[in-house]
Amino acid sequence: MSEASIARQARLALGDLGDLWLAWSDRGIVRAAWADEDDDEPPLSEVKVVKRVPAVYGKPLRDYARGKPIDPVDLPMDLRRGTKFQRGVWTALRQIPRGHVRTYTAVARAIDNPRAIRAIGMANAANPLVLLIPCHRVVAARLQLGGYSGGIERKRRLLELEGVVVDGETLRPGQLSFFE
């Protein structure tokens, strides 16, 4: 992707959730990646860094981090990366409502590829748009949190922020509507 198609990138503070590097084009958000506390390097080295994220993106994400009933999947995205399979998985993830989860198995079924459970995990790991493509809403079959690129603690905080009850690294059974 050329610099002309990606306008800018900036770091956005999301309170207790940490900082998010956000890159955007005139079509929408291109990249959203968690920034490590000691990481000042942006994820897209070829793109100019600016001081502020536009309010059209920053305000809803900050409101989400404060617990307001906003779903980041509604923000405009510019998703031209990924394989056809990955984009199919990411589309399925965007269908998981805030406050709900799906298992890796359910996501595999949703894309009509029931044997692709491990590949679903790989597509989650390659997700270029954390929060906008809510891979944190995918859990293991026994209601365990499973992995997350931002770490298990952040995944737990994100789910709790959305109203999911988590006990350690396991979801409490019976308190969610799974659509398996």
**CATH number of the domain residue 123 falls in:** 1.10.10.10
Same domain, residue pair 112 and 158 = yes
Query: What confidence tens digit (pLDDT) does each residue in 20-73 have?
Result: 999 999 899 999 999 975 566 666 666 777 889 999 999 999 999 999 999 999
Q: Is 47 helix (H, G, I), strand (E, B) or coil?
A: coil
Whether residue 2 has pLDDT greater than 60: no
Geometric angle at alpha carbon 130, from 22 and 140, rounded to 5° = 170
Same domain, residue pair 27 and 95 = no
Catalytic position from the list 73, 108, 131, 135: 135
Same domain, residue pair 58 and 111 = no
Whether residue 128 has pLDDT greater than 50: yes
Same domain, residue pair 23 and 94 = no
Maximum CA pair distance of the chain?
49
**CATH number of the domain residue 58 falls in:** 3.30.160
- Helix 117-125, helix 84-93: angle, nearest 10: 90
pTM: 0.88
Mean pLDDT of the chain: 87
Same domain, residue pair 102 and 64 = no
Q: Is 135 an active-site residue?
A: yes
Domain count along the chain: 2
Alpha helices in 5-148 (DSSP H): 55-65, 84-93, 104-110, 117-125
Same domain, residue pair 29 and 68 = yes
Geometric angle at alpha carbon 113, from 111 and 116, rounded to 5° = 110
List all residues 6 or more positions away from 47 whose beta carbon is below 8 Å from its beta carbon.
3, 6, 8, 9, 23
Domain of 135 in residue numbering reads as 84-171
Which of 37-46, 97-106, 143-152 shows the lowest per-residue confidence on average (mean pLDDT)? 37-46
